[in-house]
Amino acid sequence: MIKLGSIVKIMSLIFSILIAIPILASEIVVEGTVVDSSSQQAITNVNIFVKGTGIGTSSDQNGRFKLILSNLPPDAKLILSHIAYLERVIPLSYFKNNRIISLQKRSIPLQEVEVQTERRTYQYPQELTNSISVISSDAFDSKGYLDVADILMADQSTVIEETGKGSKTVSIRGANEDEVLILYDGVRLNSNFDNIFDIALIDPASLEQIDIVKGGNLASAGAQGSSATINFIPKLKQDYLLKFYQRFGTYNSGDWGLNLFKDIQGLNLYGSWKEAAMEQRYAAGSAANSSVNHETTHKLLNLSYVFGQDQANRASHTLRSYFSESERDYTNIRDSEELAKSHRIYYLKYLGDFKAYGKLWLNASNQNLSEVYTYQSNASSYDNDINDESYQLSCEYALDIDLIQLFAAFNNENSWLDFKGGSNNLQILPNDQTYRFRRSCNNYTVAVSYLNDKNSGSLYVDNIQFSLFFEQTEDRFPGTLEINYLDENNWIRRNNSSYMFSSSLVWGEPELLFKAHMNYGINYRIPTLYQQLTAMLYPLNSSLGNGLLAEYKANQELGITAFGNRTHSSATAVQTEASLVIFRSAYENKFRMIQFGGTPLTVLDNYNDAQLIGLESYFGLNWRRIINANFSYVKYLIPDKAAFPFKPDSKLTACLSFEIKNWHLDLIGYREAERSGLIINHLTADNLMQLQEIVLPEYHNFDLHLKKSFNLWKLGCYLSASGRNILNKSEVLDGIAIRDRRFYVSFGLQF
pLDDT at 392: 92
| Strand stretches in 526-626, DSSP E | 551-568, 571-588, 591-596, 602-606, 610-623
pLDDT level of residue 113 (50, 70, 90 thresholds): very low
For 463-502, the pLDDT digits (tens) are: 888 989 898 988 887 766 665 555 556 677 888 888 888 8
CA angle 680, 369, 414 (to 5 degrees): 105
Rounded CA gap, 282 and 730, in Å?
Answer: 13
Predicted confidence at residue 362, as pLDDT, reads 94
What secondary structure does DSSP assign to 353-416, as a single string?
E-GGG-EEEEEEEEEEEEEEEEEE-SS-EEEEEEEEEEEEEEEEEEEEETTEEEEEEEEEEEEE
Do 224 and 238 lie in one domain? The reply is: no
Residue of 407, 423, 412 whose CA lies nearest to 373: 423
The least confident of 162-166, 326-330, 337-341, 639-643 is 162-166
Task: Identify which has the larger pLDDT, 552 or 732.
Answer: 552
My answer on whether 75 and 194 are in the same domain is no
- Choice among 341-345, 400-404, 682-686, 731-735 with the minimum mean pLDDT: 682-686
Whether residues 99 and 136 fall in one domain: no
The CATH number assigned to the domain holding 613 equals: 2.40.170.20
Kindly state the average pLDDT of the residues 186-202: 84
| Burial label, 455 (beta-carbon count in 10 A; 0-12, 13-18, 19+) | exposed
Q: What is the pLDDT of residue 653?
A: 93
* Chosen domain end from 72, 103, 134: 103
**What CATH number has the domain bearing residue 168?**
2.170.130.10
The domain boundary, picked from 88, 103, 118, lies at: 103
Is the predicted pLDDT of residue 706 greater than 80, yes or no?
yes
Report the C-alpha gap between 237 and 267 in whole angstroms.
10
Lowest mean pLDDT among 103-117, 307-321, 409-423, 607-621: 103-117
Same domain, 278 and 222: no
Q: Do 345 and 321 form a contact (C-beta atoms < 8 A)?
A: no
Asked if the model's pLDDT at residue 667 lies above 90, the reply is yes
Contact 388, 197 (CB under 8 A): no
Residue 599 is predicted with a pLDDT of: 63
Amino acid at 733: L
Decide: 84 and 111 in contact? Cβ < 8 Å.
Answer: no
Same domain? For 212 and 308 the reply is: no
Q: Verify that 293 and 438 share a domain, yes or no.
A: yes
Of 64, 85, 103, which residue constitutes the final position of a domain?
103
For the residues 120-144, what does the mean pLDDT come to?
Answer: 68
The pLDDT of residue 346 is 93
Domains in the chain, number: 3
Please enumerate in sequence order all residues whose Cβ is within 8 A of that of 95, keeping only pairs 6 or more positions apart, or say none: 30, 31, 32
Q: Give the mean model confidence (pLDDT) for residues 717-742.
A: 80
Please determine, for residue 75, whether its predicted confidence score (pLDDT) is greater than 70: no
pLDDT at 718 over 50: yes
Residues 204 and 248 in one domain: no
For residue range 578-632, list pLDDT tens digits in order. Answer: 999 999 999 998 888 777 766 666 777 788 789 999 999 999 988 876 888 999 9
Answer with the residue of higher pLDDT: 745 or 684: 745
In this prediction, residue 111 carries a pLDDT of 32
What is the distance between the terminal CA atoms of the chain, rounded to a whole angstrom?
Answer: 67
Predicted local distance difference test score (pLDDT) of residue 614: 93
Q: Could you give the 3-state DSSP secondary structure of residue 112?
A: helix
Is pLDDT of 564 > 50?
Answer: yes
Residue range(s) defining the domain that contains residue 219 = 110-228
Tell me which H or E stretch contains 559: strand 551-568
Residues 455 and 583 both lie in one domain: yes
- What per-residue confidence (pLDDT) applies to 619? 93
Work out the average pLDDT over 243-268.
87
Domain of 14: which CATH number? 2.60.40.1120
218 pLDDT higher than 70: no
pLDDT at 8 over 70: no
CA angle 477, 524, 599 (to 5 degrees): 55
∠ CA 542-494-467, nearest 5°, is: 120
* Beta-sheet pairing, 610-623 with 736-738: unpaired
Are residues 224 and 235 both part of a single domain? no
Q: In whole angstroms, give the CA distance from residue 156 to residue 133.
A: 9
Average pLDDT over residues 288-303: 83
- Name the least confident of 2-16, 21-35, 580-594, 635-649: 2-16
Q: Are residues 118 and 252 in the same domain?
A: no
Same-domain check for residues 282 and 315: yes
Cα–Cα distance measured from residue 588 to residue 553, given in angstroms and rounded to the nearest whole number: 6
501 and 562 part of one domain? yes
Quote the CA–CA distance of 324 and 121 in Å, as a whole number.
23
